Chains A and B, each alone.
Chain A
């Protein structure tokens, strides 16, 4: 079993829909990252959080430390949100990232 699990693996949505991607982890962590990867490979860091909730525009990330669970929400989805979303965790006392397998999101007009 992977230490970081994501669901769903694939997600299809119509433009305007509210989207949720889930991430569960089994180890104690210093931080949880949400990353976005577009075709071609470039990765952008969306959020880094260790507690609570963060919001950037239409993107919201939450984390529940007790339940070892994080969610990424996209409100009013748009075709340009189509990408692979990856969560990654930094275990305590390490400086490395453990990655989930990613969620491939396609938003259609």
Chain B
């Protein structure tokens, strides 16, 4: 069974631009969660989707948004990029609930210049 895939793996953007990251969960998994990891703040929860609905959201500004499609694939979007958005963005999938075992993707490393 294929693991969680994320595209792109690396991305360089400039301040003010927007970016869209993609996550394909393990087949049969319906919950997708997104996380941001930075050296200063560590891992932080962004949001979680289940059956195309956002069930939980972390403490991030409205510039961070996401969605989930009917095939459980998910995208997250960051608009008006800031230098502080440079981070590793990880998604994880699980069967039903985010507190089921989580399977992480390799991450997308975003650099904002």
Contact = CB atoms under 8 A, between A and B. Distances in A.
B109 A41 contact: yes
**Chain B contact residues: over half helix, strand or loop, or mixed?**
strand
Interface string B22-52: 0000000001010101000011110010100
Given A42-B104, A98-B45, 10 more contacts: A35-B102, A35-B104, A45-B101, A95-B50, A95-B98, A95-B99, A96-B45, A97-B98, A99-B44, A101-B42
Interface of B: 31, 33, 35, 37, 42-45, 48, 50, 55-56, 58, 88, 90, 92, 97-104, 106-107, 109
Contacts of B31: 95
A45 to B, nearest CB: 5
Closest 7 CB pairs of A and B: A90-B99, A43-B104, A95-B98, A99-B43, A31-B99, A96-B56, A96-B45
Contacts, number: 63
A45 B107 CA distance: 15
